[in-house]
């Protein structure tokens, strides 16, 4: 049993599409991932959230997430730019980032790994497939891998 | 004449003989002495002495001196007088020889008029004065003769010596030299006739004039005989007749006969001697003149023979005509050229050797020339047509010169004729070759030109003149400014000079503004060459690439536009399908949630409809995914490598194992396929798709798929060496759809195959992949007969 289960570990989902978010949240529930999940719908919001800036100043005590699921295709700052900022920020660069996107474009895949993404997953279209993907994500990141002791 | 430097035995014998003869003849002369005992008008020794010196050289003189001394010592004179006279006689002979030689050269004297004149004037008339003067003075001083008789003695002495020099000397000179000509029969007869005439004439003159009815003797009757002798027998005839005449005259006169008989004997002898001298001189001059003429005729005829030999043997024909056009001479070469023999044409008008059109005017030509002196051909030479005996004509080179004939007044023209048929033929061939070359050059659509070092055009083709906008004559040899714009000249010159100086071929683009002001871009290849005189030229071939350039630029623009538009299309397909997926995913998710969340609240129909919605959304998702993949196939680079297609098919077979077993399908590779350079993964996809189709669209219980490579199988006009194929025993495809099946999402409505899963994009991917490899795909299929899909990979390996 992974000791990570003993602590409340939060996950940050960055996605502009609320349907997708809803699907993820439901999938998390279905696979029994009970961690706290935060949602940011823009890249800027995600960075503010992580740095406890802007709208998130008040919640400065909130724990930083132990895993970020990042969509690429977003209005305004896109996923790659967000990833770039995270990897440049000494306070954030240790957080594993899983790219969670519709795109299967090799260019995007390569660019993300180059920028320091920890995994690149394509969003399945069919919900059952999505649930399966999330199950594997959970098994890997929360049951197999060891995450940083404390996010950010 | 021999020159004796030593007195050898022969010379001494000669001297003694000379002295003896001198003595003998002088005694005969003295027998006819009337003025004084020691002086006579008949004195052969003078002539004998002169002849001896002329024949044997001046060193013979002691013989003369001895003869003269002996003669005078025995003529009742004091020795001192005899010595004086002998000295005078010797001097006379010596000076006669010396003066003659000075005046007339080394001889022979009798054969030249000048020699005879010298003999008459110097030897007979002048030098004899020395002997006469010294001799007479000696006689008078010695008291042998009185001074009162000086004049008459001197005259007789002189006359006697002169007679000796002109009668005896020529006789000895004429007959004293070998060889004597062998007389012919005709000449023998003439000799006899002449001798008879001489005898008769002498007889009539001196003995019996009445024989031919004459009352008086006429001494000049001898002239014809002497002249005859001179003409026919030369100096030998003349001297003999003179001797004979002299002898007869002396004998007749001393016997009171002949024309001089009525004078006192002394006077008669003087006159007679004078007469004989005149006859001798006349005859000698005459024969000398004949001799000269004979000599010059001989020389002339020899040179004519030589000239004829030359003319007969020269290769060129030579014809001489007179002012009336009559052929005078015609050499052997002419016979060859015209076919007529010389005797056929000599004496006829030269017109017979010309074609009619020239012949009719020929007389006019000659007359015009003779009248005006203006020559059309004389002294110029030109090419004309000649007419042969067989009626054929031929080209000839004729040069005519006016020649002055030997006799002077007559106008003669000589023509040198050269048959130039062969040369003409060769010229024609060269001309033909040149014309052929020119017409070939003219047919070249590109302008071709030649230039000299001054950048002037020396030749070109039609395309060139068309480009310059004018006839060739306007540009050839003219200043380059006539066809080049001032501002373009430096560049053209520099280009030309580069070729001239480097002697290398260059290809350059040149801008040229034509006469209409249109700009042309020419790609010009220039090469330098030297002609046979060593002058440098360049030959250029220009290609007008103006349109090509325009098209090239346009094409480049189009290509770029196409590239951009393709890129945009790819981007569009990618982005569009990507963005299409998001709401679709939402749709599916929501449908899933609906089915899940409202499980108990939905009736069967509601559930069925929601399931249908899910199915349709999923199908749409597949279509979009295929579209995405298709657009990616067009964008991504191929990862080509050396690939073993046998291995690829084996891997595909393993991958599809379950599917194949399900459908009872078997794959065979009858022959190993050659290796090929390609993107291995994509080609695997090609094989997988084709094999899948072969199995799927098949209604046979045992589905057979054959994969292989067919050497020599290829699309028409391609340079492929062979094609891969995938053959099945399936349902086949109506040829009507052979093209449509490659369209994306195109599915055939085939009742034999109930297939709901396919999107109809497999063959589209296959085609795309093959096209990315620059290959082709096509098929050979008919319904119920199975299908064969062929494809090539555009690779050089296969």
According to DSSP, residue B203 is labeled: I
Confidence of residue B754 (pLDDT cuts 50, 70, 90): low
CA angle A141, A145, A146 (to 5 degrees): 110
Rounded CA separation A98/A69 (Å): 5
pLDDT band at B753 (very low <50, low <70, confident <90, very high): low
- Residue A101 phi/psi, 5-degree rounding, is -145, 165
- Under the banding of pLDDT at 50, 70 and 90, the label for residue B708 is very high
Q: What is the CATH number of the domain that holds B23?
A: 1.10.1760
Confidence of residue A3 (pLDDT cuts 50, 70, 90): very low
Put simply, the answer to whether B586 touches A106 (Cβ < 8 Å) is no
Asked if residue B50 and residue B154 are part of one domain, the reply reads yes
The residue that leads in pLDDT, B78 or A82, is: A82
Q: What is the SS3 assignment for B436? A: helix
Same domain, B646 and B787: yes
Q: What is the pLDDT of residue B401?
A: 83
In chain B, which residue's Cα lies nearest the Cα of A74?
B579
Task: Count up the domains in chain B and report the number.
Answer: 6
Q: Percentage of chain B surpassing pLDDT 90?
A: 22
Domain boundaries, chain A: 9-140
Distance between CA atoms of B199 and B638, rounded to whole angstroms? 144
Position B530 in a domain:
yes
> Is B575 within 8 Å of chain A by CB?
no
* Residue contact B578–A73, C-beta within 8 A: yes
B593 close to A (CB below 8 A)? yes
> Which of A33, A61, A3, A1 minimizes the C-alpha distance to A131?
A33
- Whether the CB-CB separation of A17 and B582 falls below 8 Å is answered with yes
Does B401 touch chain A if contact means CB atoms closer than 8 Å? no
Neighbours of A46 (CB within 10 A): 28
Q: Give the pLDDT confidence of B435-489 residue by residue, as tens digits.
A: 998 889 889 888 999 999 989 999 899 889 988 888 888 888 888 888 888 888 8
B160 and B36 in a common domain: yes
Distance CA B255, CA B776 (A): 153
Q: Is B49 exposed, middle or buried (0-12, 13-18, 19+ CB in 10 A)?
A: buried
Rounded mean pLDDT, A34-59: 82
CB B461 within 8 A of CB B441: yes
Nearest to B589 among A23, A103, A105 (CB): A23
* B244: in domain: yes
Peptide bond connecting B669 to the previous residue in cis, omega within 30 degrees of 0: no
Distance from CA of A20 to the nearest CA of B (A): 7
* Tokens at B385, concatenated: 């047509």
Q: What is the DSSP string of B397-408?
A: EEEEEEEE-TTS
Q: Which domain covers residue B768, as residue numbers? A: 638-791
Chain A environment of B618 (Cβ under 8 Å): 125-126
| Cβ–Cβ contact B572 with A under 8 A | no
Residue B304 maps to a domain: no
Instruction: Name every chain A residue with its beta carbon within 8 A of the beta carbon of B589.
Output: 19-20, 22-23, 127, 130
B20 and B158, same domain (yes or no): yes
Residue B272 shares a structural domain with residue B392: no
- The answer to whether residue B433 is domain-embedded is no
Same-domain status, B340 and B372: yes
pLDDT score at B110: 85
Q: Does A102 reach chain B within 8 Å, measured CB to CB?
A: yes
Q: How far apart are CA B84 and CA B165, in angstroms?
A: 20
Check if B586 contacts A (Cβ < 8 Å).
yes
CB atoms within 10 A of CB A141: 22
Same domain, B476 and B449: yes
Question: Is A19 in contact with B621 (Cβ distance < 8 A)?
Answer: no
Q: Where are the beta strands (DSSP E) in B611-721?
A: 640-643, 665-668, 676-679, 703-711
What is the rounded average pLDDT for all residues in chain B? 86
How many Cα neighbours within 13 Å face the side chain of B8? 5
Within this chain, do residues B201 and B150 fall inside the same structural domain, yes or no? no
Q: Is B711 on the interface with A (CB under 8 A)?
A: no
In this complex, how many residue pairs, one in chain A and one in chain B, have their CB atoms less than 8 Å apart?
48
Judge whether A125 is closer than 8 Å to chain B, CB to CB.
yes
Collect all residues with Cβ–Cβ distance below 8 Å to B86 and sequence separation of at least 6.
B65, B68, B69, B71, B72
Last residue of a domain, one of B631, B661, B689: B631
Q: Is residue B1 a part of any domain in this protein?
A: no
For residues B43 and B26, is the Cβ–Cβ distance under 8 A? yes
Average pLDDT over residues B242-246: 89
- Residue B346 or B311, more confident: B346
pLDDT band (50, 70, 90) for residue B567: confident
Here the tokens at position B375 are 């020559």
Question: Is residue A75 within 8 angstroms of chain B, CB to CB?
Answer: no
* Same domain membership, residue B761 and residue B726: yes
CB–CB of A125 and B618 under 8 A? yes
B661 in contact with chain A, both atoms CB, cutoff 8 A:
no
Tally of residues, chain A: 152
The pLDDT tens digits for B481-512 are 888 888 888 888 998 999 999 988 999 888 88
Q: What DSSP string runs through B600-615?
A: TTS-HHHHHHHHHHHH
Domain of residue B566, CATH code: 1.10.287
CATH class for the region spanning A9-140: alpha beta
CB contact under 8 A, A127 and B588: yes
SS in 3 state form for B7-51?
CCHHHHHHHHHHHHHHHHHHHHHHCCCCCECCECCCCHHHHHHHH
Q: Does B632 touch chain A (CB under 8 A)?
A: yes
Reported as a single tens digit per residue, the pLDDT across B415-438 is 888 888 888 889 889 999 989 988
DSSP for B110-135 reads TTSHHHHHHIIIIIIIIHHHHHHHHH
Q: What percent of chain B has pLDDT over 70?
A: 95
What is the distance between the alpha carbons of residues B432 and B230, in angstroms, rounded to a whole number?
72
Which of A26, A105, A125 lies closest to B581 in CB terms?
A125
| Percent with pLDDT over 70 in chain A | 86
- CB-CB neighbors (< 8 A) of A79 in chain B: none
Nearest residue in chain B measured CA to CA from A107: B636
Task: Write the secondary structure of B455-466 as one string of H (helix), E (strand) and C (coil).
Answer: CCEEEECHHHHH
- Residue numbers in B near A102 (CB within 8 A): 578, 581-582, 585
Mind listing the pLDDT tens digit for each residue in B616-642? 888 888 888 888 888 888 777 888 899
Picking from B110, B142, B328, the residue whose alpha carbon sits closest to that of residue B239 is B110
Residues B501 and B478 in one domain: yes
Q: Is A3 on the interface with B (CB under 8 A)?
A: no
Strand A37-40 and strand A11-14: the pairing is parallel
Å from A126 to nearest chain B CA?
6
Residue A125 has its nearest CB partner, among B574, B579, B621, at B621
Task: Please classify residue B742 by burial: count the beta carbons closer than 10 Å to its beta carbon, then call 0-12 exposed, 13-18 middle and 19+ buried.
Answer: buried
Nearest to B578 among A17, A102, A106 (CB): A102
Look at chain B and count its residues: 798
User: Is the predicted pLDDT of residue A104 greater than 60, yes or no?
Assistant: yes
**CB distance B589–A22 less than 8 Å?**
yes
Q: Does B584 touch chain A (CB under 8 A)?
A: yes
CA distance A43 to chain B (A): 18
Closest CA to B739 of B691, B797, B778: B778
- H-type alpha helices, B255-331: 265-313
Distance of alpha carbon B761 from alpha carbon B764, whole angstroms: 5
Return d(Cα B311, Cα B317) in angstroms, integer. Answer: 8
Classify residue B667 by its DSSP letter: E
Count CA within 13 A, CB hemisphere, residue B5. 0
**Hey, of B574, B588, B610, B639, which one would you mutate to test binding to chain A, going by the most A CBs within 10 A of its CB?**
B588
Q: What is the spatial distance between Cα B583 and Cα B131, in angstroms, rounded to a whole number?
A: 170
Q: How far is CA B183 from the centre of its chain?
A: 57
Helix (H) or strand (E) holding B626: helix B604-635
* Bridge partners, residue B412, by sequence: B322, B403
Q: Are residues B627 and B586 in the same domain?
A: yes
Does B158 lie in the same domain as B16? yes
Does residue B569 sit within a domain?
A: yes
Final residue before a domain boundary, out of B257, B292, B327:
B292
For residue B182, is pLDDT > 80? no
- Are B288 and B113 within 8 A, CB to CB? yes
CA distance B654 to B668: 13
Is the residue at B305 inside a domain?
A: no
- The candidate with the shortest Cα–Cα distance to B648, out of B618, B682, B617, B619, is B682
CA distance B724 to B716: 16
Find, among B615, B576, B570, the residue nearest to B592 by Cα.
Answer: B615
Note the pLDDT tens digit of each residue in B154-170.
998 898 889 888 988 89
Instruction: Provide the CATH number for the domain around residue B698.
Output: 3.30.565.10
Instruction: Give chain B positions within 8 Å (CB) of A17.
Output: 582, 586
Residue of B nearest to A73 (CA): B579
Element (H, E) at A135: helix A127-137
CA-based nearest distance B693→chain A, Å = 26
Q: Give the pLDDT confidence score for residue A1 in this predicted structure.
A: 40
For residue A60, the model assigns a pLDDT of 46
């Amino acid at each position: 049993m992974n000791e990570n289960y003993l602590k409340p570990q939060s996950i940050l989902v960055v996605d502009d599409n609320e349907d997708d978010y809803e699907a993820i949240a439901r999938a998390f529930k279905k696979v029994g991932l009970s961690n706290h999940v935060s949602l940011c719908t823009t890249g800027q919001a995600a960075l503010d959230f992580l740095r406890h800036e802007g709208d998130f100043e008040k919640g400065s005590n909130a724990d930083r997430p132990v895993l970020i699921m990042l969509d690429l295709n977003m209005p305004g700052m896109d996923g790659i730019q967000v990833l770039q900022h995270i990897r440049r920020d000494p306070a954030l660069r240790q957080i594993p980032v899983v790219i969670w996107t519709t795109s299967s474009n090799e260019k995007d895949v390569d660019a993300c790994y180059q920028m320091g993404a920890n995994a690149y997953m394509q969003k399945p279209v069919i919900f059952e497939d999505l649930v399966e993907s999330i199950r594997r994500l959970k098994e890997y990141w929360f049951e197999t891998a060891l995450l940083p002791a404390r996010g950010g | 004449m021999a020159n004796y430097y030593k007195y050898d035995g022969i010379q001494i014998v000669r001297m003694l003989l000379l002295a003896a003869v001198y003595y003998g003849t002088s005694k005969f002369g003295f027998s006819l002495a009337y003025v004084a005992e020691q002086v006579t008008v008949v004195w052969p020794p003078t002539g004998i002495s002169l002849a001896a010196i002329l024949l044997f050289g001046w060193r013979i003189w002691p013989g003369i001196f001895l003869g003269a001394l002996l003669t005078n010592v025995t003529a009742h004179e004091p020795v001192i007088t005899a010595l004086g006279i002998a000295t005078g006689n010797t001097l006379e002979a010596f000076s006669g020889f010396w003066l003659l030689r000075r005046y007339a050269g080394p001889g022979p004297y009798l054969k030249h008029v000048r020699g005879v004149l010298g003999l008459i004037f110097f030897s007979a008339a002048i030098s004899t004065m020395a002997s006469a003067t010294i001799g007479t003075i000696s006689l008078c001083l010695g008291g042998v003769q009185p001074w009162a008789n000086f004049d008459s003695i001197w005259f007789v002495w002189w006359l006697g010596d002169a007679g000796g020099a002109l009668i005896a000397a020529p006789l000895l000179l004429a007959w004293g030299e070998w060889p004597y000509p062998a007389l012919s029969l005709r000449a023998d007869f003439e000799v006899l006739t002449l001798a008879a005439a001489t005898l008769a004439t002498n007889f009539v003159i001196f003995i019996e004039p009445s024989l031919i009815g004459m009352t008086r003797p006429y001494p000049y009757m001898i002239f014809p005989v002497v002249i005859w002798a001179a003409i026919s027998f030369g100096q030998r005839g003349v001297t003999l007749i003179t001797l004979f005449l002299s002898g007869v005259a002396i004998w007749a006169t001393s016997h009171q006969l002949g024309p001089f008989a009525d004078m006192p004997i002394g006077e008669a002898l003087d006159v007679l001697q004078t007469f004989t001298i005149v006859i001798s001189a006349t005859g000698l001059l005459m024969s000398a003149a004949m001799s000269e003429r004979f000599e010059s005729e001989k020389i002339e005829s020899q040179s004519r023979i030589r000239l004829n030999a030359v003319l007969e043997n020269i290769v060129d024909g030579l014809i001489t005509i007179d002012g009336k056009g009559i052929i005078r001479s015609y050499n052997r070469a002419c016979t060859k050229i015209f076919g007529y023999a010389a005797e056929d044409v000599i004496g006829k008008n030269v017109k017979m050797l010309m074609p009619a059109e020239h012949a009719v005017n020929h007389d006019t030509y000659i007359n015009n020339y003779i009248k005006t002196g203006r020559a059309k051909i004389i002294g110029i030479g030109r090419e004309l047509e000649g007419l042969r005996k067989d009626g054929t004509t031929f080209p000839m080179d004729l040069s005519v010169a006016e020649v002055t004939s030997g006799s002077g007044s007559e106008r003669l023209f000589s023509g040198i004729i050269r048959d130039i048929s062969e040369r003409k033929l060769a010229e024609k061939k060269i001309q033909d070759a040149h014309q052929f070359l020119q017409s070939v050059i003219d047919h070249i659509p590109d302008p071709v030109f030649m230039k000299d070092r001054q950048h002037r055009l020396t030749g070109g083709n039609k395309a060139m003149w068309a480009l310059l906008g004018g006839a060739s004559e306007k540009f050839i040899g003219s200043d380059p400014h006539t066809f080049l714009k001032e501002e373009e000249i430096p560049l053209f010159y520099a280009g030309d000079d580069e070729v001239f100086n480097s002697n290398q071929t260059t290809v350059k683009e040149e801008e040229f503004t034509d006469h209409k002001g249109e700009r042309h871009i020419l790609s010009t290849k220039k090469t330098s060459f030297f002609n046979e005189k060593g002058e440098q030229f360049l030959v250029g071939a220009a290609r007008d690439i103006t349109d090509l350039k325009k098209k090239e630029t346009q094409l480049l623009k189009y290509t770029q536009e196409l590239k951009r538009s393709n890129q945009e299309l790819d981007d569009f397909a990618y982005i569009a399908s990507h963005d299409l997926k998001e709401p679709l995913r939402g749709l599916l998710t929501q449908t899933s949630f609906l089915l899940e969340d409202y499980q108990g609240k939905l009736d069967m129909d509601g559930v069925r409809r929601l399931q249908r919605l899910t199915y349709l959304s999923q199908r749409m998702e597949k279509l979009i995914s295929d579209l995405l993949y298709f657009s990616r196939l067009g964008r991504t680079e191929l990862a080509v490598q050396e690939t073993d297609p046998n291995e690829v098919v084996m891997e595909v077979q393993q991958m599809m194992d379950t599917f194949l077993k399900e459908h009872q399908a078997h794959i065979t590779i009858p022959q190993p396929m050659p290796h090929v350079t390609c993107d291995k993964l994509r080609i695997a996809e090609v094989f997988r798709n084709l094999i899948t189709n072969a199995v799927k669209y098949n209604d046979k219980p045992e589905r057979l798929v054959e994969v292989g490579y067919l050497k020599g199988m290829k699309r028409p006009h391609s340079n492929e060496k062979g094609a891969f194929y995938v053959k099945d025993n399936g349902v086949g495809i109506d040829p009507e759809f052979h093209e449509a099946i490659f369209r994306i999402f195109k599915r055939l409505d085939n009742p034999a195959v109930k297939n709901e899963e396919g999107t109809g994009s497999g063959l589209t991917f296959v085609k795309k992949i093959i096209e990315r490899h620059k290959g082709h795909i096509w098929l050979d299929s008919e319904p119920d007969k199975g299908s064969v899909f062929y494809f090539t990979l555009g690779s050089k390996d296969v």
